[in-house]
Amino acid sequence: MGDEIADSVTLFVGTDKGLFRVMSDAQRERWTLDGPHLRGYRVIHTCRMPGVPGTIYAAAAHSVWGAHIYRSTDGGATWASLDSTPHHQPARYASSLKAIWFLAAAPDGSRLYAGIDPPGLFVSHDQGESWVAMEGLNEHPTKPAWEPSKGIFAVHSVYIDPAQPLRMYAAISAGGAFRSGDGGTTWHAANTSVRAENLPQDTPHAGHNIHRLVMHPTVPDRLYRQCYNGTYRSDDGARTWSEITDGLPSDFGYAIAVHRKDPDTVFQIPETGPEFRTTVDGRLRVYRSRNAGADWESASSGLPQEHVYVTVLREAMDTDSRDPCGVYFGTSGGHLFASNNSGDHWTRIADYLPRVLCVRAQLNDRPG
């Protein structure tokens, strides 16, 4: 029984109307839906605290009550709002906090990071009870080149290198990718060779509308990014980038995810473009590369292929650490899909949820 629990997966699915837990059996074939929790809140992102079993954080926003961080200490069964939120000083922006877009924990559990709208990165050293602004990014010299993207103006995609915890990455929509080698005191723009055809310069130093950045958890020099213009790979810790769009049906999209054990396997969901932000040709397709983006194939067996006009948002796709890899995503139409074999075949595991904003897969802890 213990092994069965340890091999199972829980998906934390944030939506426009609350948070759902979707729990699997050991084979990831049967799923049970629990929720909604945080009813009426937009749940934009969730984060597990390493080394503290059962502790999960959720970034939530309400049209009346504003933005909050909720914490669960029992694996998501119950939640409590934290008293403190990360926010800018008054008068820096029209609003000191519109929404919290990303939560990330240091690998040793000593720090919790939050990326917010208006664009800012904050760190907590006391489990979210208080927050300190990371002004090296928030007031970066490239800030005049940043501008709101469609829907957000925020820091997202925050990652900490588990082997070198002073090395960090973050993305700003729209501002580009940034890296730090000193724990976030100073930051360097990390956009070399990345197109930005919506800007006056094709490959500017900063200002890019980066939709999602992902760092491979065991080979942290390997990163992937999905942008307004193209899909890219870095092999040197975001110092340089190579475009890997060739073979995809579009250079536009939001969702990109990595196989947690194989840095060369990456999954991407293409969309038509900025004027019509839905699946290409009305077909719900996941594209997979097994050679770091040199070649792509549609890995879409089991997904609907006619008249599907949905969006898969930036945080609405994730993978687990099982072998074979589990891959999961949710759509703007409220459908949730899962593959327990690295995308070879897909199953719809939930229907008619509110619009899915984020999906986070967690391998369940062993009892005791």
> How much is the pLDDT for 199?
78
Looking at residue 7, its pLDDT comes to 80
User: Considering the domain boundaries, does residue 25 fall inside one?
Assistant: yes
Would you call 108 exposed, middle or buried from its count of C-beta atoms within 10 A (0-12, 13-18, 19+)? exposed
The predicted pLDDT at position 367 comes to: 36
- Confidence at residue 274, expressed as pLDDT on a 0 to 100 scale: 84
- With a cut of 70, list the residues of the chain below it in pLDDT: 1-6, 365-368
The reply to whether 118 falls in a domain is: no
Buried/exposed 318-348: b ≥16 CB within 10 Å, e otherwise: bbbebeebbbbbbbbbbbbbbbbebbeebee
In a domain, 365, yes or no: yes
The pLDDT assigned to 4 comes to: 46
> Are the C-beta atoms of residues 156 and 118 closer than 8 Å to each other?
no
CA dihedral 277, 328, 335, 254 (to 10 degrees): -10
Q: What is the pLDDT of residue 365?
A: 58
Q: 214 lies in a domain?
A: no
Domain with 12 in it: 1-40+251-271+279-368
3 state DSSP class of 145: helix
CATH code of the domain covering residue 340 = 2.130.10.10
Residue 258 lies in a domain: yes
How far, in Å, CA of 129 to CA of 349, rounded? Answer: 36
Tell me, what DSSP letter sits at residue 280?
G
Give the count of domains, the chain.
Answer: 1
**136, containing H or E segment:** helix 135-138
* Residue 97 covered by a domain: no
pLDDT of amino acid 5: 54
- The answer to whether position 352 is within a domain reads yes
172 occurs within a structural domain: no
